Chains A and B, each alone.
Chain A
Amino acid sequence: MTGRSELDRFLRTDPRDVGCAQAMELLHIYAELAAGGGSVEERYPGVAAHLASCGPCGEDFEGLLTALRDEDKPGP
Chain B
Amino acid sequence: MPGLRALLVAERVLRAVRRRAGVRVNGLRWAHLGSIMVMVAGNSGVERIPAVAAGLDPASAEWLRVLADTGPRREAALARLHEMLLRIAQGEVRRRGPRLRLAGPELDDLAYQAAADALLAITGKLGQFRGESRFTTWAYKFVIFEVSGKIGRHFWRHPSVPFDAEDWDRLPGRFGFDPAQEAEWRDLLAALRRAVDEELTARQRRVFVAIVLNNVPLDTLVIEMAANRNAIYKTLFDARRKLRAALAANGYLDDDSPRRS
Q: Which residues of A contact B (CB under 8 A)?
A: 1-4, 6-8, 10-17, 19-21, 24, 27-29, 31-32, 45, 53-57, 59-60, 62-64, 66-68, 70-71, 73-76
CA gap between A73 and B177 in the complex, in Å: 46
The prevalent SS among residues of B at the interface is: helix
CA gap between A68 and B137 in the complex, in Å: 7
Is B35 interfacial (CB 8 A cutoff)? no
Please give, as numbers and ranges, the residues of chain A lying within 8 Å of B140 by CB-CB distance. 28, 64, 67-68
CB atoms of B258 and A56 under 8 A apart: no
The prevalent SS among residues of A at the interface is: helix
Please give, as numbers and ranges, the residues of chain A lying within 8 Å of B66 by CB-CB distance. 76
CA gap between A28 and B95 in the complex, in Å: 19
Please give, as numbers and ranges, the residues of chain B lying within 8 Å of A64 by CB-CB distance. 137, 140-141, 144
Name 8 extra pairs, CB < 8 A, besides A2-B176, A24-B141, A45-B261: A7-B188, A12-B257, A24-B145, A24-B229, A27-B141, A29-B132, A57-B229, A76-B80
Which B residues between 181 and 238 are near A, CB-CB below 8 angstroms? 181, 184-185, 188, 192, 212, 217-219, 228-230, 233-234, 237
Closest 10 CB pairs of A and B: A3-B177, A11-B244, A20-B230, A21-B230, A75-B59, A32-B133, A28-B141, A6-B175, A20-B229, A28-B133
Is B250 interfacial (CB 8 A cutoff)? no
CB atoms of B137 and A31 under 8 A apart: yes
Is B148 interfacial (CB 8 A cutoff)? yes
Q: Which residues of B contact A (CB under 8 A)?
A: 59, 62-63, 66, 76-77, 80-81, 84, 88, 91-92, 95-96, 132-134, 136-138, 140-141, 144-145, 147-148, 152, 172, 175-178, 181, 184-185, 188, 192, 212, 217-219, 228-230, 233-234, 237, 240-241, 243-244, 247, 253-254, 257-261
How near does chain A come to B74, taking the closest CB pair, in angstroms? 10
Please give, as numbers and ranges, the residues of chain B lying within 8 Å of A7 by CB-CB distance. 175, 188, 192, 253
- Which of A3, A15, A53, A70 makes the CB contact (< 8 A) with B91? A70
Please give, as numbers and ranges, the residues of chain A lying within 8 Å of B92 by CB-CB distance. 63, 66-67
- Which of B81, B185, B228, B258 makes the CB contact (< 8 A) with A12? B258
Residue of A nearest to B80 (CB): A76
Residue of B nearest to A2 (CB): B176
Please give, as numbers and ranges, the residues of chain B lying within 8 Å of A55 by CB-CB distance. 218
CA gap between A11 and B247 in the complex, in Å: 10
CA gap between A74 and B80 in the complex, in Å: 10
Please give, as numbers and ranges, the residues of chain A lying within 8 Å of B76 by CB-CB distance. 76
How near does chain A come to B261, taking the closest CB pair, in angstroms? 7
CB atoms of A12 and B244 under 8 A apart: yes
Residue of B nearest to A61 (CB): B144
CA gap between A74 and B233 in the complex, in Å: 35
CA gap between A57 and B110 in the complex, in Å: 19
CB atoms of A63 and B184 under 8 A apart: no
